[in-house]
Amino acid sequence: MQVEVRGITKCFGAVRANDDISFTVPSATIEGILGENGAGKSTLMKILSGFYRPDSGDILLDGKKVEIDDPADAIRQGIGMLHQDPLDFPPLKVIDDFLLGKRGGLLPRRRAVIREFNELAARFDFSIDPESYVDTLTVGERQQLEILRLLWLGARVLILDEPTTGISLPQKEKLFATLKKLAAEGMTVLFVSHKLEDVESLCNRATVLRQGRLVGTMEPPFDTKALVGMMFGKEVPQEPKAQPRMGGTVLHARQVDLEGIRIQIKGVDLKVRAGEVIGLAGMEGSGQTLFLSACAGLAQPVQGSFCLDEEEKDMTGRTYHEFRKRGVAYLPAARLEQALIPGLTLTEHFILAEGMKGFFIDRKKSEELARRRISLFNIKGRPDSPVESLSGGNQQRALLALMRDPLKLILVEHPTRGLDIESTIYIWGKLKERCAHGTAIVFISSDLDEILKYSDRVLVFFAGKVTPPLDARTLSVERLGRLIGGKDWDRLETEAAHA
């Protein structure tokens, strides 16, 4: 189906999120929609999928002007949207989730639908058990389920919002293969991303948005430099990787056994030294988060111990707050759910994190503090901005700004998930600055490039198994990908012996 937008404009308050955007995507095309955070990609896609109504402008499907009332209406007209966070219902069975949104028939013909589901899944080589529960699926599998559901509901235009964050490399490859196959069959795909390489390897065309406006469209072969230029209005330099300067032990995990809800980890042994960066790689749900939170006292080991500092102070069984007092900071991935407090302003966050003395709030002092941090961390926001009004990148900057000084150990889940390149580089710049002052960093990422680029050592998690620390300088993307996928583990032992 051919999708055309004409003069789409959408304002939120004084902000023009979309400003007179027009373009046409012919059917059987995979169109990349590029842009940094806040460029207006998500807004445009939400308008196409019926979540928002534009202030002005038209949407044309196959040349016919249409009105899209709501998401259900969008799918009736053939537009299906795959959200960054899959909009499924975890306590449901796969098949029930699949059935949701289907019109008509009070009592769905389950058996027939299961057959259809299996046929559809087989077509794309997905292996999802329709009787399993949604919350047992990985993010990648949920995405597959959602694609199947949208296809089944008759989608002829598929919108994907940052689909490659949070899924493993093999899953990503499968997703791309699927999308290419669908496009070949006539599907129109709008692929929203800020990852240039994804767009380059998948898309037939790329359209770039910046500050709510369409700045240009490019066809392959893509010129990376030019695309970056269009996205940011300038080229972003990449920092060269520095040699680690490692100091004394800041954290020692000794033969730690952990038990999570669906995962068990056995016998992890790790010494984190001052100034180094350790990346935890693996498919989502392989135990990295469990291990990382245990390093902060947010989960307790069933066996083994966690010790802090050179003197190996045993912290097993202590609370996060005791870890925190000893210079450990934890930055969760779900910023607005676990790390920031929606409804409170930036200033209030700084006050809280600072643990101010006294009884009555010193407004003047607090605001000064907030202003200082805001400018220091280049946060786009004002002291009185509620944190939820900030963009993802600025929220992450705020999180960094909230960390106290000095810190011995920073534990970060997905430090740059969903952020644009500029923010990513900025965030890592700030983190590396800390390393230079002797702070150690342990982080989780599903982005293999990020793992390899920023880590000094890497731990790979697979189904509760953990590799010994691997030297990032000698680790290739391919090898890492194979380990994440559960291959080559038998060879590790011998290597570790040599290392």
Partner 1 sequence: MRDTRANRLLFQIGAVLFALLVTVLVLFLAGAQPFAAYKYIVLGALGSWDVVTNVLVSWVPLLLATSGLLVTFTVGLWNIGIEGQITLGAVFTTWAMRLLQDSGWNPTLILVLALLAGILGGTLWALLAGVLRTFGGVNEIFGGLGLNFVATALNIWLIFGPWKRPGVASMSGTLPFDRALWMPIAAGSSRLTPATLVMAVVGIIAVYAMIEGTYFGLRLKAVGKNPKAAYILGIPTWQNMMASFAICGVFAGLAGAVQVTAVYHRLIPSISSGYGYLGLMVALLVGYRASLAAPVALFFAALNVGSIQLPIILKLDSSLAGVLQGTLVLFVMLGNGIRARLIKKGT
Residues that bind partner 1 (CB under 8 A): 12-13, 52, 320-321, 324, 330, 332, 337-344, 348-349, 351-353, 355-356, 358-361, 402
Name the residue nearer to partner 1 (CB basis): 93 or 324. Answer: 324
Which lies closer to partner 1 via its Cβ, residue 188 or residue 293?
Answer: 293
Residue 21 vs 333, nearer CB to partner 1: 333
- Sheet with 313-314, strands from edge to edge, namely 264-273, 249-259, 303-308, 313-314
CB 360, min distance to partner 1, A: 5
Q: What is the DSSP letter of 134?
A: G
CB 453, min distance to partner 1, A:
26
3-state secondary structure of 342: coil
Torsions phi, psi for 82 (to 5 deg): -105, 115
Q: What is the rounded distance in angstroms from the CA atom of residue 308 to the CA atom of residue 297?
A: 11
Backbone phi and psi for residue 438, each to the nearest 5 degrees, phi listed first: 100, 5
The burial class, CB within 10 Å (0-12 / 13-18 / 19+), for 160 is: buried
* Helix 346-354 / helix 392-402 crossing angle, nearest 10 deg: 30
Count of CA atoms in the C-beta half-sphere (13 A) of 421: 23
Minimum gap (Å) between residue 337 Cβ and partner 1: 7
Q: Give 341 or 376: the residue with its C-beta nearer to partner 1.
A: 341
Task: Decide whether 111 or 321 has the Cβ nearer to partner 1.
Answer: 321
Residue 422: CB partners within 8 Å, gap ≥ 6?
A: 36, 232, 236, 393
Give whichever of 244 and 260 is closer to partner 1, judged by the CB atom: 260
Q: How far apart (Å, rounded) are the C-alpha atoms in residues 317 and 298?
A: 10
Taking the complex as a whole, how short is the minimal distance between the CB of residue 321 and partner 1, in angstroms? Answer: 6
